[in-house]
């Protein structure tokens, strides 16, 4: 356990040193929010557009932080042999993955904090303290499950393959999940199956004081299960090559 903490501490130091990821996780959603949020006067998901867009942009920044950067790094570190080197220490086999997931939980925080603050002071979204907290935690959880998908992709594919694969996954969950704009019709029906949709809908239901459907929470947990299973398969399948 002490070993995992030591590794995690160094991973955090790397994160603070290399802030390029902030451009994508914080920069993109903040700029989009500033451009779009106050120009649309309709409602979405039963709340004001500014409130919906706050939740969806926070989710967008956070999940891209957990997914793309991580998948790339894991794949590169596997290729470089850093994971092999760690296997020669007394760290347990899962330590590397555990510390990556812990760090992912942190990488999602700046995006969520930035966009929620923007929603409050630029989008004029007024909520009770518990609603802020519940929204933030839901987005945080919904985004963090993508860290497991990042492990699955990063372990299985070479760094040059990871880039396009992560992009496809990223667009798929961002667009179908209604993060950029709400889906309609058939696409909405499909999109409702995604964890990105689940997390955003829980957030907007909390904001709109609507009852949160259990199906949304179950949906998130099912996706967590799927991503964990994929990650486990990837890690096991490549056990001899890392």
Interacting residues with another protein (CB under 8 A): 3, 6-7, 10, 13-14, 17-18, 77, 79-85, 87-91, 240
Q: How far is the CB of 92 from another protein (least distance, A)?
A: 9
Q: How far is the CB of 11 from another protein (least distance, A)?
A: 8
Round to whole Å and give the CA distance between 117 and 168. 29
Angle at 71 between CA 65 and CA 75, to 5 degrees: 150
Structure tokens at 68: 């793309």
Give whichever of 95 and 166 is closer to another protein, judged by the CB atom: 95
Structure tokens at 202: 């829980």
Residue 20: helix, strand or coil by DSSP? coil
CA distances from residue 56 to 7, 37, 126, 211 in whole angstroms, order as listed: 32, 11, 16, 19
Q: How far is the CB of 232 from another protein (least distance, A)?
A: 19
Give whichever of 3 and 208 is closer to another protein, judged by the CB atom: 3
Q: How far is the CB of 146 from another protein (least distance, A)?
A: 22
Give whichever of 20 and 39 is closer to another protein, judged by the CB atom: 20
Relative to beta strand 43-44, strand 47-48 is antiparallel
Q: How far is the CB of 10 from another protein (least distance, A)?
A: 5
Q: Is the distance from CB of 203 to CB of 131 less than 8 angstroms?
A: no
Give whichever of 79 and 120 is closer to another protein, judged by the CB atom: 79
Q: How far is the CB of 15 from another protein (least distance, A)?
A: 9
Give whichever of 13 and 124 is closer to another protein, judged by the CB atom: 13
> Any idea what DSSP says for residue 39?
G
Q: Is the distance from CB of 33 to CB of 49 less than 8 angstroms?
A: no
Round to whole Å and give the CA distance between 78 and 30. 32
Give whichever of 124 and 236 is closer to another protein, judged by the CB atom: 236
Q: What is the dihedral of CA 184, 48, 146, 69, to 10 degrees?
A: 110
């Amino acid at each position: 356990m002490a070993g995992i903490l030591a590794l995690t501490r160094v991973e955090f130091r790397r994160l603070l040193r290399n802030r390029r990821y902030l451009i994508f996780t914080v920069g993109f959603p903040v700029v989009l929010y500033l451009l779009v949020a106050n120009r649309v006067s309709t409602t979405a998901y039963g709340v004001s557009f500014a409130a919906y867009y706050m939740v969806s942009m926070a989710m967008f920044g956070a999940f891209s932080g957990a997914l793309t950067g991580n998948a790339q790094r894991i794949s590169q570190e596997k290729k470089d042999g850093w994971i092999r080197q760690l296997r020669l220490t007394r760290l347990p086999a899962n330590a590397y993955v555990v510390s990556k997931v812990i760090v992912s939980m942190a990488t999602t925080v700046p995006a969520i904090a930035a966009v929620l603050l923007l929603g409050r002071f630029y989008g004029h979204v007024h909520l009770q303290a518990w609603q802020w907290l519940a929204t933030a935690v839901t987005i945080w959880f919904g985004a963090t499950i993508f860290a497991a998908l990042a492990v699955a992709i990063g372990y299985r594919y070479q760094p040059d393959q990871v880039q396009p694969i992560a992009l496809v996954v990223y667009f798929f969950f961002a667009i179908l999940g209604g993060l950029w704009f709400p889906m309609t019709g058939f696409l909405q029906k499909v999109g409702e199956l995604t964890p990105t949709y689940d997390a955003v809908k829980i957030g907007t239901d909390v904001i709109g004081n609507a009852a949160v459907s259990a199906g949304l929470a179950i949906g998130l947990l099912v996706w967590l299960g799927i991503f964990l299973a994929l990650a486990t398969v990837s890690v096991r399948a490549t056990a001899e090559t890392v």
